[in-house]
Chain A
């Protein structure tokens, strides 16, 4: 018996809408992508460590109280703080303990002031240690 060979029809996959789908996906990615450039500083705060009163007295301390900044009991502006921290050559000190700068905020202190102080310490190469009110 002779079989008739059927030629399989070449079925075309419809691809005409592929580019439309692709462009929709591109629009989605463009909308949800964050192209922001971030500026700031990194600060590794020593976690959960208790220091002695004597050790604290030796370390430079920056206090903030109701928007006023003091360093080792002298009232300073943020520019003066930059200069004083720079003069301490914190970045050249060998250990992290030697680089610690204590910050203490009391009263109402907005994040703007806190951020500027942390940025100044971080820029000078210091390690920030936070003293919470009531500690």
Chain B
């Protein structure tokens, strides 16, 4: 017996609105994103109990595991440059919320490195938001 071959209809996926959806997603990401300035830095965060959830600030100072100091992800020569940089960034900011400087430091760094940086931030008029890790959340 001869079988009849049925021709299948080609299924069309409607893709006309894909571009619109993609642009809506882009707008969402543009509005919600904060760029990761210190993505490449090697920092083991300090741990403590009873930490608060903090909002991300525009200004950040970091000290990595080698003791290098970074302002906005850029390597700084010394503490004085950090102070001038923060002063410049804080210029014209009047609200306390705008003066918050996020401070991240590797937990093994000695006080001879981080203490002058903390003083420089406060001398420049910044409010320090010390970033760490809730104790017990990770084992390493």
User: Are A and B a genuine interacting pair, yes or no?
Assistant: yes
Once the chains bind, are A34 and B107 in contact (CB under 8 Å)?
no
Q: Is A3 part of the binding interface, using a Cβ–Cβ cutoff of 8 Å?
A: no
Residues of chain B within 8 A (CB-CB) of A114 are 46, 111, 114-115
Query: Of A6-14, A22-30, A54-62, A90-98, which stretch is located at the interface?
Result: A22-30
Are A119 and B107 within 8 A (Cβ)? no
A34-B35, A37-B53, A119-B51 given; A42·B107 CB < 8 A: no
CA of A42 to CA of B121, assembled, Å: 13
Question: How many A-B contacts are there with CB distance less than 8 Å?
Answer: 151
- A interface residues with partner B (beta carbon < 8 Å): 15, 18-19, 22-23, 25-26, 29-30, 32-34, 36-48, 82, 105, 108-112, 114-116, 118-120, 123, 130, 132
Measured CA separation A15–B23 after assembly (Å)? 13
Q: CA A119 – CA B46 in complex, angstroms?
A: 11
Using a CB–CB cutoff of 8 Å, the interface residues on chain B facing chain A are: 15, 18-19, 22-23, 25-26, 29-30, 32-36, 39, 46-56, 63, 100, 102, 105-111, 114-115, 118-119, 121-123, 125, 127-134
Chain A residue at smallest Cβ distance from B44: A112
Interface SS majority for chain B = mixed
Closest chain B residue, CB of each to CB of A109: B111
Residues A39 and B26 in contact, CB atoms below 8 Å apart? no
Q: How far is the CA of A43 from the CA of B96 in the complex (A)?
A: 12
Return the contact of A40 from the options B23, B52, B110, B111 (Cβ within 8 A). B52
CB proximity of B135 to chain A, nearest CB, Å: 8
Residue of chain A at shortest CB distance from B50: A123
- Given A34-B56, A39-B51, A45-B122; A29-B130 close (CB under 8 Å): no
A130 and B48 within 8 A (CB): no
Q: With A29-B30, A110-B109, A119-B130 known to touch, is A22 a contact of B19 (CB < 8 Å)?
A: yes
Chain B residues, Cβ within 8 Å of A18 = 19, 22-23
